[in-house]
Every structure is written in C-alpha cells, then in structure tokens.
C-alpha cells in the first residue's frame, strides 16, 4: 500500500521522498540537538564519521520548509542500537533537528553498518524459503514531521553496503540509496552524504494535496 500511494503522488508531480519501515528501535524521547552537531555519544570500534546534510523541501513548490522536525537514529558498528547495548550511552546515535528558514539540516553521525536480525521461528523459515539472508543493509533512519505536510518515515542506505539486493525486510528503494562521498576541509569527518527530503502538502481535510 505504501508503494502504491507513493507512486500515485509521484506521478502527480515532483517526487515525494520514498518512505520505508520504521523498524522496532524508534524511541520517542530522542533529544533535540543543535543543528550541525554530532549524534554520537559513545566511541565505536572502526567507525567512520560522516557529515549528513540537505534540505527539507515542499514537493509541490520546491521551496524550503522551515521548522520541520527531523528525527534520526541508527545502529552502532556492532550492529546494535543504544537500547540493545548497555555499553552505549543513552541517546547514542539518535537525535532531533529543527530546520531553519532555509529548510537546511545537518549533523554528524557514523557510517552505518549491516546487521543481522533474529532468524529463529516462522520469520527465519520464511527467509529461508525466500533464499534471503537474515541481514539488513547499512542504513540510517529518518522521521520528518511538519504541520501541513504528510509525515515521512524512511531510511537512507549506503550504496556500498552488502544486502541491498536481498534485504531481509525488502525495504530498499533505489531513490533511498546514497553515496558516502569524500568530505574535505573538515577535521571532524572524512565522508559526507547530501540528501534532500521532499514532503507532500496536505489539503484542508488532511488528505494529500494534488501536486
């Protein structure tokens, strides 16, 4: 249903950012952080720091959206989210950012890593029948909220990650696959990702407006 709705909106006008599953590790108490700061609270073995940035835009007009709330979270290099790992500080690798008048967002994070998912029981048997490994490709979760716009819950995937073609939960879309490019002139990060998020406005009845 999500894919059908996305295709319907996209055919009506400029593409709205594709949604993807929220997953089980979202928490409502992520801290609000200052724009351009890091979400990493705990050192991680083998971590590569990346600068993630872009704009939140109106899919109909292309204009920037001010005061949008961007909630992000990801697993550490050991494949665990902070609530799974007692060695990670509270709120490690998560946070909320609020866009300014220019619609821009930016933060520092680590390059995500693939991780296994539980493979016992019916879910594991289904993966075996589908000939899929019990792994998720490397990704960063995003949730974007702004009054007057359709909420977006999505994931950005590392283009160099394993399991893009056989994601255990079939959540990868080409438009969500991003390159971790070289980031220069900044001692805090050697990699960067630029990704603009396009939100669909809603009409007065709460439905998705025609684009």
Domain boundaries, given as residue ranges, for the chain: 2-113+138-154+177-199
C-alpha span between 40 and 42 (Å, rounded)? 6
Q: What is the mean pLDDT of residues 164-171?
A: 92
Lowest mean pLDDT, pick from 3-7, 65-69, 79-83, 138-142: 3-7
C-alpha span between 125 and 145 (Å, rounded)? 36
Half-sphere exposure of 206 (CA within 13 A, CB side): 0
C-alpha span between 58 and 150 (Å, rounded)? 11
Alpha helix ranges (H) inside 109-149: 121-129
Asked if pLDDT for residue 26 goes beyond 70, the answer is yes
Q: What is the mean pLDDT of residues 143-170?
A: 97
The DSSP letter of residue 191 is E
CA–chain centroid gap for 153, Å, is 7
Q: What percentage of the chain has pLDDT greater than the value 70?
A: 83
Predicted confidence (pLDDT) per residue in 28-56, tens digit: 999 999 999 999 999 999 999 999 999 99
Q: What is the mean pLDDT of residues 20-34?
A: 96
pLDDT at 12: 44
Asked if pLDDT for residue 63 goes beyond 70, the answer is yes
Rounded to the nearest integer, the mean pLDDT of the chain is: 90
pLDDT at 118: 73
Band of the pLDDT at 115, cuts 50, 70, 90?
very high
pLDDT at 121: 65
Q: What percentage of the chain has pLDDT greater than the value 90?
A: 79
Band of the pLDDT at 124, cuts 50, 70, 90?
low
pLDDT at 205: 62
pTM, entire model: 0.89
Band of the pLDDT at 203, cuts 50, 70, 90?
confident
C-alpha span between 206 and 209 (Å, rounded)? 8
Buried b (16+ CB within 10 A) or exposed e, 119-143: beeeeeeebeeeebbbbbbbbbbbb
Helix (H) or strand (E) holding 54: strand 49-58
C-alpha span between 207 and 150 (Å, rounded)? 8
Asked if pLDDT for residue 76 goes beyond 80, the answer is yes
pLDDT at 4: 45
> Does domain 2-113+138-154+177-199 match CATH 2.60.130.10?
yes
How far is the CA of 66 from the CAs of 36, 144, 163, 203, in angstroms?
A: 16, 12, 35, 18
CB 209 within 8 A of CB 200: yes
């Amino acid at each position: 249903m999500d894919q059908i709705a996305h295709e319907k909106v996209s055919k009506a006008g400029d593409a709205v950012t594709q949604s993807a599953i929220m997953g089980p590790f979202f928490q409502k108490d992520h801290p609000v952080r200052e724009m351009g700061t890091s979400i990493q609270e705990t050192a991680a073995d083998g971590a590569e720091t990346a600068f993630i940035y872009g704009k939140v835009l109106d899919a109909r007009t292309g204009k920037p959206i001010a005061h949008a709330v961007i909630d992000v979270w990801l697993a550490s290099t050991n494949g665990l989210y902070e609530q799974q790992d007692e060695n990670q500080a509270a709120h490690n690798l998560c946070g909320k950012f609020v866009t300014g008048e220019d619609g821009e967002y930016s933060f520092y994070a680590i390059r995500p890593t693939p991780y296994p998912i539980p493979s016992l029981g019916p879910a594991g048997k289904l993966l075996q029948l589908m000939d899929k490994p019990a792994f998720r490709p490397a990704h960063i979760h995003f949730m974007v909220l702004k009054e007057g716009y359709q909420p977006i819950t999505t994931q950005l995937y590392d283009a160099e990650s394993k399991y893009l073609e056989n994601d255990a939960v079939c959540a990868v879309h080409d438009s969500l696959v991003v390159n971790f490019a070289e980031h220069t002139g900044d001692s805090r990060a050697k990699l960067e990702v630029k990704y603009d998020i396009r939100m669909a406005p809603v009409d007065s009845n709460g439905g998705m407006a025609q684009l």
